[in-house]
Structure 1
C-alpha cells in the first residue's frame, strides 16, 4: 500500500468515527456535514433523503424522536477504492435504542460511497440495511463500545 493510500484509508476511518460521534451527540447538522451537498441517503426504513439539507432534517426528526436515546457504534467491514478519489465502504453497525417504541439493539450493514472533495472525504451515497440475525447483536451500548476496541 502506498503512503497516499494509507492516508486515504486513515482519513476515511476518521469520517466513520466522526459519523458515530455526531450520531451519539444527536447532532443532525454535524452528521449531515459528513455528506456532499448533493448526497443521497436511503435510511433503515427505506426513506430516500436527497441532499445534505434533507439528510439533516431527516436526522433531526429521528434524533429528537424515535432515536433520541440511541447510541451507535460502526466499524469498517470493507473499504475498497474504485478510483483514487472514490471509495466503497461497507460498515458493521450496532444501534442501541434505550427507550421508546424502537427500544432494543439492532445490527445493520450500511454501504457508503465516499468521494474526495476540497474539504476532504465526504459521503455521496449511503444505503442502510437492517440485518435479520439479531442473535448476533451486542446486548448493550457499553458492550458495543467495548467491542469497538477489538477492531
Structure 2
C-alpha cells in the first residue's frame, strides 16, 4: 500500500473517531461539520435525508435527546477505495444504554475534498437485529 493510501486510511479513521466523539457528546454541530453540503443520509430506520439542511434538521431534533447514556463506540472494519478520492467505509457502532446494547452497521461513502479532507457524502445506517 502506498503512503498516500495509508495517510488516507488514517484520515478516514480519524473522521470516524470524530463521529464517535460527537455522538458521545451529543454535539450536533460537530457531527454536521463532517458532511458535504450535498450529502445523502439514510437513518437506521430508513428515513432518507437529502442534503445537509435535511440532515441538520433531523440531527438537531434527535441527537440531543438520544436515549443512550453517551457510551457509544464506532470502529472502522473495512475501507474500500472506489477511486483515489472516494472510499466506501464499513463501520461497526455500538450504543450502550441501561435497556441494553444496540448495534449498527453503517456504510459511509466518503469523498476527499480539494483540500485533502475526507467528508461524509452518502451514508446508510443499518440497525443490527439480534434474534
Q: What RMSD over aligned residues (CA atoms) do the two structures have, in Å?
A: 1.6
1:110 to 103, 106, 112: 106
Q: Matches of 1:118 and 1:104 in 2, distance apart?
A: 42
Corresponding residue for residue 93 of structure 2 = 93
Corresponding residue for residue 133 of structure 1 = 130
Q: Which runs of 4+ in 1 moved over 4 A?
A: none
Q: Matches of 1:9 and 1:57 in 2, distance apart?
A: 30
Quote the offset at 1:18 in angstroms. Answer: 0.5
Cα offsets for 1:20-54 (capped at 9, x unmatched)? 00111111111011110000000112111111222
TM-score, normalised relative to structure 2: 0.91
**What is the DSSP-based 3-state SS (H/G/I as helix, E as strand, rest coil) of the residue aligned with 1:36?**
strand
**Greater relative contact order, per chain length (Cα 8 Å cut-off, separation 6+):** 2
1:49 aligns with 2:45: no
TM-score, normalised relative to structure 1: 0.80
Q: Is the 8 A contact 1:109 1:131 kept in 2?
A: yes
5+ long unaligned stretches in structure 1: 135-151
1:122 aligns with 2:119: yes
Quote the offset at 1:69 in angstroms. Answer: 3.5
1:63 aligns with 2:81: no
Quote the offset at 1:4 in angstroms. Answer: 0.5
